[in-house]
A and B are shown apart, each in its own frame.
Chain A
Amino acid sequence: QKEVEQDPGPLSVPEGAIVSLNCTYSNSAFQYFMWYRQYSRKGPELLMYTYSSGNKEDGRFTAQVDKSSKYISLFIRDSQPSDSATYLCAMSARPDNAGNNRKLIWGLGTSLAVNP
């Protein structure tokens, strides 16, 4: 079993739809949760970052973390064709005693197409 599971899709929605993207994980030590967006032929770019449980909102994007269920979500409201991309979740445990980042563990990514 992979540490992080993410449905690869593809997911196809009409413009204006609410999109829900999800990841599950097995390591209870994970504290930092990130969503990256990757356009075709580009590197991933950080979209949302959440520490521990709770919600975080940024414009049309909302990230949710449910540590009790080991489940994270990214919601996109009023989706636009420009949101068409692959969305990857990533997570890590807290830094070590020397303050060094733990390794990021990645989901495989979900391919999203928003149709005009």
Chain B
Amino acid sequence: DSGVTQTPKHLITATGQRVTLRCSPRSGDLSVYWYQQSLDQGLQFLIQYYNGEERAKGNILERFSAQQFPDLHSELNLSSLELGDSALYFCASSVVADVRGYTFGSGTRLTVV
């Protein structure tokens, strides 16, 4: 157990729907990162939050949004889902000043049918 908790583990939904993915960071970590992983694109950085505030944005679509709550858990909202959104979505957390990388959760596997 890495200490980063992601729910749900699997999600199957239809095109056009909206889903919410949840992440609880490792104890003491203030930064949360969201990544999308697909076979052909690899790990794609979506967005980072630090202590409730958006800190950096990557290749996140306008249909996607995220937030980090006062208890530091984070949610990634995906709307108007398309078949191409099917992927593994990972959350990672870190102590901001630690450049040695992140601790990842086990991911949410999203399948859009």
Q: Show the binding face of A for B, using Cβ within 8 Å.
A: 32, 34, 36, 41-46, 49, 88, 90, 92, 94-95, 99-104, 106-109
- Interface hits, B78-110 → A, CB 8 Å: 90, 92, 94, 96-107, 109
Closest B residue to A107 by beta carbon equals B42
B4 adjacent to chain A (CB < 8 Å):
yes
Contact A92 B90 (CB under 8 A): no
Q: Indicate if the CB atoms of A101 and B42 lie closer than 8 Å.
A: no
B interface residues, Cβ below 8 angstroms from A? 2, 4, 31, 42-43, 45, 48, 50, 55-56, 58, 90, 92, 94, 96-107, 109
Q: Which 5 A-B pairs have the closest CB atoms?
A: A43-B104, A108-B42, A106-B43, A49-B100, A46-B101
CB–CB A32/B100 < 8 A: yes
Q: Are A45 and B2 in contact (CB under 8 A)?
A: yes
Smallest beta-carbon distance A110→chain B, Å: 11
What is the minimal beta-carbon distance from B6 to any residue of chain A, in angstroms? Answer: 8
CA distance A45 to B4 in the complex (A): 12
Candidates B4, B94, B105, B106; contact of A101 at CB < 8 Å: B94
Chain A residue numbers with a CB within 8 Å of B50 are 100
Q: A101 touching B96 by the CB < 8 A rule?
A: yes
Interface pair A43/B105, CB less than 8 Å apart: yes
In the assembled complex, how far is the CB of residue B10 from the closest CB belonging to chain A, in whole angstroms? Answer: 10
Query: Would you call B99 and A92 a contact (CB within 8 A)?
Result: yes
- Please indicate the chain B residues that have their CB under 8 angstroms from the CB of A43 in the complex: 2, 4, 90, 92, 104-107
Residues of A within 8 A of B4 (CB): 43
Which residues in A have their C-beta under 8 angstroms from that of B100? 32, 34, 46, 49
A-B contact pairs, 17 of them (CB 8 A): A36-B101, A41-B106, A41-B109, A43-B107, A44-B43, A44-B90, A46-B103, A94-B99, A99-B96, A100-B97, A102-B99, A103-B48, A106-B43, A106-B45, A107-B42, A108-B42, A109-B43
A7 and B48 alpha carbons, distance in the complex (Å): 28
Residues of chain B within 8 A of A34, CB atoms compared = 100-101
A104 to B105, CA, bound (A): 17
